[in-house]
């Protein structure tokens, strides 16, 4: 901790720097501009934790409540993604396999087709289509039995599938799944044509019905989307969604993405729709199960590499991906169905082995969309320093949102000196605003920066304003 010498304040030049909030820091004091911003907003300074340290320095530049346990919101993804990168490696790939458990005669499978999920968080609908096309290429046309979905890579009983907030059908609320397709999400496309409004689903599903009650109007497009009403009216034995309201025909196409289908309905319904579109048939239904030992492997699909996955996870703060990473760490380490608790143990053991001090870390689901996840600013700073020294430095840094350019930082510092010089994972919950990453200042020095702010209402712009003041101060003065 750097402390001021008593004689410094007697120097006129340094006195001026104090007035500008540009003086050297004393470890436990916030810069003047930051204190002013907090005071103006009526937010107590004690609600903020800060840790700033130049890469290569012996002591931090600034520690303010750095050892206080805080809720980091999506800042927790920094921990999960770096742990996964270091433990599994940047080229780790998830496997999705397709088996048959009966004879294949002249294109007819006299048995079941088994989809075995390996936890791939990147299995988008186009990948799923190619997977089914590969099954067709291996001679399967008609399936006499069922579609069996093997989800045993993750322990589904241990996964909290409850919505994490009131927006239960938003895609970010979809729980991780060993056999996850397209994040379990459906795009509902509202398309005005021929003085009518057509609504269709992408991808199509045999277990989804759309009750389209949208009426075309000649109204203005401003706020046209607010006139649409979306409701799930039934979920058994299939799901029916009703869209109603008015939509001006001149407004063009509008897309609404929601995760409305239960996980079993989703995989089976999309499989059946795509399979029949390819000219195949499925006589049975969809059900959960496991691939028997005698099953014959038809297709082995490899996912995109983990380095690409953590980029999507961090830049766009994808909760489902982060939760799946924690489960994957557990499944790979213990060679059994992954659980969140086991994943947390893997991370804790890894931190000890690496000598990374995070004594206040509590990791529950890996995404940070949680009220029980906790850590300290110093602990996060220690992790970021270790990541910077890691052989996988390039892959990790490339995963973080870049100010003014992409991800959750795309709209911040646009056209300012900090544009492109700040890589920071953000985090937001009600009462939480967090940021953690690296800042390259005007002199070419790189700093680890962690800001954890917990206070009622801090998510409503105030937290961002305080962060921006601190980051601009650091860029300009050190």
Q: What is Dmax (Cα atoms) for the chain?
A: 93
CATH of 6-90+307-477, one of 3.40.50.720, 3.40.1190.10, 3.30.70.980, 3.40.710.10: 3.40.710.10
pLDDT reported for residue 310:
98
Burial class (CB in 10 A: 0-12, 13-18, 19+), 30: buried
Dihedral class, residue 457 (left if φ above 0, else alpha if ψ from -120 to 50, else beta) = left
In sequence order, which residues have a C-beta less than 8 Å from that of residue 89 and are 6 or more positions away? 306, 392
Q: What are 258-301's pLDDT values in tens digits?
A: 999 999 999 999 999 999 999 999 999 999 999 999 999 999 99
CATH fold, domain 95-181+263-304, is: 3.50.80
Q: What share of the chain in percent tops pLDDT 90?
A: 86
Please give the Cα distance from 446 to 17 (Å, whole number).
22
Residue 1: per-residue pLDDT: 31
CB 36 within 8 A of CB 390: no
pLDDT at 169: 92
Q: pLDDT tens string for the chain (478 positions)?
A: 333 333 333 333 333 333 333 344 445 789 999 999 999 999 999 999 999 999 999 999 999 999 999 999 999 999 999 999 999 999 999 999 999 999 999 999 999 999 999 999 999 999 999 999 999 999 999 999 999 999 999 999 999 988 877 788 988 889 999 999 999 999 999 999 888 899 999 999 999 999 999 999 888 887 777 889 999 999 988 999 999 999 998 889 999 999 999 999 999 999 999 999 999 999 999 999 999 999 999 999 999 999 999 999 999 999 999 999 999 999 999 999 999 999 999 999 999 999 999 999 999 999 999 999 999 999 999 999 999 999 999 999 999 999 999 999 999 999 999 999 999 999 999 999 999 999 999 999 999 999 999 999 999 999 999 999 999 999 998 7
CA dist 270 and 288 (Å) reads 15
Domain ranges of the chain: 6-90+307-477, 95-181+263-304, 186-258
| Domain pair 6-90+307-477 / 95-181+263-304, same fold | no
The model's pTM is 0.91
């Amino acid at each position: 901790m750097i402390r001021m010498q008593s004689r410094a304040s007697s120097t006129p030049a340094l006195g001026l720097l104090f007035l500008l909030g540009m003086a050297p820091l004393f470890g436990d004091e916030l810069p003047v501009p930051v204190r002013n911003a907090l005071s103006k907003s009526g937010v107590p300074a004690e609600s903020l934790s800060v840790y700033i340290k130049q890469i290569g320095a012996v002591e931090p530049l600034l520690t303010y409540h750095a050892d206080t346990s805080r809720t980091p919101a999506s800042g927790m993804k920094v921990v999960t993604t770096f742990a996964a990168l270091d433990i599994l490696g940047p080229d780790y790939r998830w496997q999705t396999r397709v088996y048959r458990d009966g004879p294949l005669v002249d294109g007819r499978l006299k048995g079941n087709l088994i989809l075995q999920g390996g936890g791939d968080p990147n299995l988008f609908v186009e990948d799923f289509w190619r997977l089914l096309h590969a099954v067709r290429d291996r001679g399967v046309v008609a399936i006499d039995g069922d579609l069996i979905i093997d989800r045993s890579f993750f322990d589904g009983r241990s996964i909290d599938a409850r919505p994490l907030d009131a927006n239960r059908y938003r895609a970010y609320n979809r729980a991780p799944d060993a056999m996850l397709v397209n994040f379990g999400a459906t795009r509902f496309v509202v398309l005005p044509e021929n003085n009518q409004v057509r609504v269709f689903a992408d991808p199509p599903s045999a277990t989804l019905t759309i009750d389209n009650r949208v009426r075309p109007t000649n109204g203005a497009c401003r706020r046209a989307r607010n006139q649409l009403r979306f409701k799930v009216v039934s979920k058994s034995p299939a799901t029916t969604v009703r869209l109603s309201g008015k939509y001006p025909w001149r407004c063009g196409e509008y897309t609404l993405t929601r995760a409305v289908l239960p996980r079993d309905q989703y995989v089976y319904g999309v499989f059946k729709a795509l399979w029949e579109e390819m000219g195949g048939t499925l006589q049975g239904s969809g059900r959960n199960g496991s691939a028997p030992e005698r099953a014959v492997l038809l297709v082995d699909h490899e996912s995109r590499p983990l380095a690409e996955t953590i980029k999507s996870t961090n830049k766009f703060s994808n909760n489902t991906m982060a939760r799946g990473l924690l489960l994957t760490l557990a499944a790979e380490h213990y060679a059994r169905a992954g659980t969140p608790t086991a994943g947390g143990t893997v991370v804790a053991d890894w931190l000890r082995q690496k000598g990374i001090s995070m004594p206040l870390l509590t990791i529950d689901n890996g995404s940070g969309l949680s009220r029980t996840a906790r850590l300290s600013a110093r602990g996060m700073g220690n992790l970021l320093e270790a990541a910077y020294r890691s052989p996988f430095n390039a892959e990790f840094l490339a995963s973080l949102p870049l100010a003014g350019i992409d991800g959750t930082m795309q709209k911040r510092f646009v056209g300012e000196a900090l544009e492109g010089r700040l890589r920071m994972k953000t985090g937001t919950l009600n009462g939480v605003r967090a940021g953690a990453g690296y800042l390259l200042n005007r002199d070419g020095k790189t700093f680890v920066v962690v800001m954890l702010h917990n206070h009622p209402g801090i998510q409503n712009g105030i937290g961002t304003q305080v962060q921006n003041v601190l980051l601009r101060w650091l860029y300009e003065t050190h």
